[in-house]
Homo-oligomer: A and B are copies of this chain.
Amino acid sequence: MLRQTMGSALLATLLATCPAFAQDAGNEAWLPSLMTQTPQEGFDLAVTIARKAVTTTQPNTDALHALRPAYAHDPDSLIEVSGVVATYFATIAEANEYWWE
């Protein structure tokens, strides 16, 4: 249960920095394009898509927020999230032709 508590903190942190997510219940245009001005914006977009996949699977906001214990953290989950972002970033980078001139 300890592990679950930790992972929950991660998820809550993900949402805390992106409070509007639970509201956009699927009808809004949240991903009109993969184009960004810089690699850094591309990285931010990768984080956004990774988060969206989580809220699409579990759209219940209360359920998501209930998962937040204040003091727990799971390094392994953080590493896993980094891996997921890496996959989305690869796609975005190719879409932007690696931001070459």
Contact = CB atoms under 8 A, between A and B. Distances in A.
Interface residues of A, number: 61
Interface in A59-97: 59, 63-64, 66-67, 73-91, 93-95
A13 B58 CA distance: 7
A10 to B, nearest CB: 6
Say how many copies of this protein the assembly contains.
6
Contact of A33 (B2, B52, B99): B99
Interface string A1-22: 1111011101101100100000
Interface of A: 1-4, 6-8, 10-11, 13-14, 17, 29-34, 38-40, 43, 47, 49-50, 52-54, 56-59, 63-64, 66-67, 73-91, 93-95, 98-100
